[in-house]
Chains A and B, each alone.
Chain A
Amino acid sequence: MSNSEHKRGELAISVQHLGLVYKTTIDRRPTLKARMSTLGRGTKHTRIIHAIDDVSLNVPYGSVLGVVGANGAGKSSLMRVISGILPPTRGRVEVYGKVSTLLALGVGFNPSLSGRENVQLGGLAAGMSRKEIQEQFEEIADFAELGEAIDAPMRTYSSGMFSRLGFSVAVTIKPDILIVDEALSTGDAKFKEKSLNKIKELRGEDRALVLVSHGLATIREVCNEVAWLHKGKLIQRGEPNKVVEAYEKFLKVGRSAAIDEDI
């Protein structure tokens, strides 16, 4: 099946000078009690996080953009802005097509419900119709290789089963723009290979893909372009081998001249 609506090379995602700053709580579980007991003492309960700073990117249809970076680099935040979950603080994001929201990770929000029910609920929340989900459900279940476990509560799932189901949902429901966040990093070798093949297959269909992964070999193999983020800034962007090499060097050395200049 090829993507009929969008031609190869047309713009899919345009990120322009994106900045994301947000306020979040310091306590993991903010309580009224904590607020009351520190009233008038000037204790801070929130902190400001500069997640993304002036990032610009373009992703055309028919290409795969790999995003690499250390933990806390802002990779996931960037994906959340592109899928409309977090509103940007500065700049602008234009999306030319239907984005798969990060369904892969949203699957299983209610662990006492079965895999089937969770997939349905996740799909409905993302704005799909019942019919669309029904039509694709068999394919999802087949790809995830869960067997009868698909009707068991998700709290009984192993982490591998969880991510297999998540990945299957993300790649089966065919959006124009697909975002896969770390979903390839779990699962056994056999499933990894299978998911890699699926990604390549999708690339052939002229969809736009954004792949966030720590698996550098995967990134090198499937991406047309790689963006390297560090502490919210776009450090380097370009040809996969070159960027991954620079990133690997950075990982080994701990810091590189390029980053020192920037910070």
Chain B
Amino acid sequence: MKVAPVEVYEPYKVGLPPLRKYWRSLWARRAFISEYSRSELHEKHFDSVFGQVWLILNPLLLSGVYFLLIVIIGGHSDKVRYVHLTGCLFLFYFVANSMTAGSKSVVRGQKLILNTAFPRIMLPISVTYISFINFLPTILVFFVIRTALGFPFGWALLWSIPVVLITGIFALGLSILISCATVYFRDISSFLPYFSRTWLYLSPILYEVSTLKPQLRSIEAFNPLFPMLDSWSRSIVHNEVPQVTSLLQGLAWALGILLIGTYFFLSRERDFAVRV
């Protein structure tokens, strides 16, 4: 009697691996993602007292620095502006951190990639998850500030949940895309700080969408974070229901980037072992 082989390795066609099998193998390893982030966070933050405080202190200092900037160069400033800045900055840094960590994720996992067969996409997923976990305490900080400054609470605040979800999908897609590109061009991770700084200024963070000069409104079309940050600010700062068009626009960007990123990654990942 002939026994069927457990695994057969044959030459592959260009393009995507069998998706169903890939997904099963990824799902079976979901514990890796939580274990990876747990160990990483533990190593970075929980070994020292200052490390834990830093998680809260870092976003606070950040928002302080940018507020100073607005006060000095912008002239007028009020508490709405400060709260908008803080909230949007935190969401922006979730995306930016996920992108930066994503760029290094595959290259840093070199040893594992060379010696273990696993769905490589686990690596960028893990680092985005870590960025998300790091984002959570900043929401807490934000709500403390918001409450202290006497902003009203209401149901519209709940709209922030789908907005975070959309932004999360976007951050994941970006991280997957960048992690794959960095394998081929290692210097991408050195460009990223400049890129994300520019992106910060082109996003409605230091200013609100409504105060933007009409001739500059065109950047809206090219900046995926525009609709996301606008909806985010409307919901968590102003306690308003975000515009449906913004939400849909954000969702379209997020899904688009995720699809493109995943396609690139999956069609190239079999190459990684000889490229990293």
- Chain A residues engaging chain B, CB cutoff 8 angstroms: 10-11, 14, 22-25, 29-33, 35, 49, 80-99, 101-106, 108-110, 112-113, 117, 120-122, 124-127, 129-130, 153
Contacts and interface: CB of A to CB of B under 8 A. Distances in A.
Interface string B88-101: 00000000000000
Contacts, number: 138
Q: Which 3 A-B pairs have the closest CB atoms?
A: A106-B115, A109-B111, A94-B5
B23 interface: no
Interface residues of B, number: 42
Contacts of A85: 113-117, 273
Contacts of A117: 35, 39
Given A113-B39, A121-B35, A121-B36, A92 B10 contact: yes
Q: Main SS of the interface on chain A?
A: mixed
Interface in B255-273: 270-271, 273
A3 B258 CA distance: 44
Nearest to B188: A32
B111 A88 contact: no
A101 B35 contact: no
Interface in B180-218: 184-188, 191
Contacts of A153: 43
B117 A122 contact: no
Interface in B25-65: 25, 28-29, 31-32, 35-36, 39-40, 43
B117 A101 contact: yes
A25 to B, nearest CB: 7
Interface of B: 3, 5-12, 25, 28-29, 31-32, 35-36, 39-40, 43, 108-118, 122, 184-188, 191, 270-271, 273-275
Given A32-B188, A86-B274, A101 B115 contact: yes
Contacts of B32: 121, 124-125
Contact of B8 (A33, A93, A108, A121): A93
Given A86-B274, A88-B10, 11 more contacts: A83-B116, A87-B9, A93-B8, A93-B9, A95-B7, A96-B6, A97-B6, A102-B114, A102-B116, A106-B115, A127-B28
B9 A22 contact: no
A124 B117 CA distance: 11
A97 B5 CA distance: 7
A31 to B, nearest CB: 4
A105 B188 contact: no
Contacts of B28: 127
Contacts of B187: 31-33
Q: Which of B29, B116, B274 has the most CB of A within 10 A?
A: B116
A92 B109 CA distance: 28
Contacts of A101: 115-117
Q: Which of B11, B112, B118, B270 has the most CB of A within 10 A?
A: B112
Contacts of B3: 10-11, 96
Given A93-B9, A96-B5, A113-B39, A103 B188 contact: no
A113 B116 CA distance: 18
B25 A127 contact: yes
A126 B29 CA distance: 8
B117 A83 contact: yes
A109 B109 contact: yes
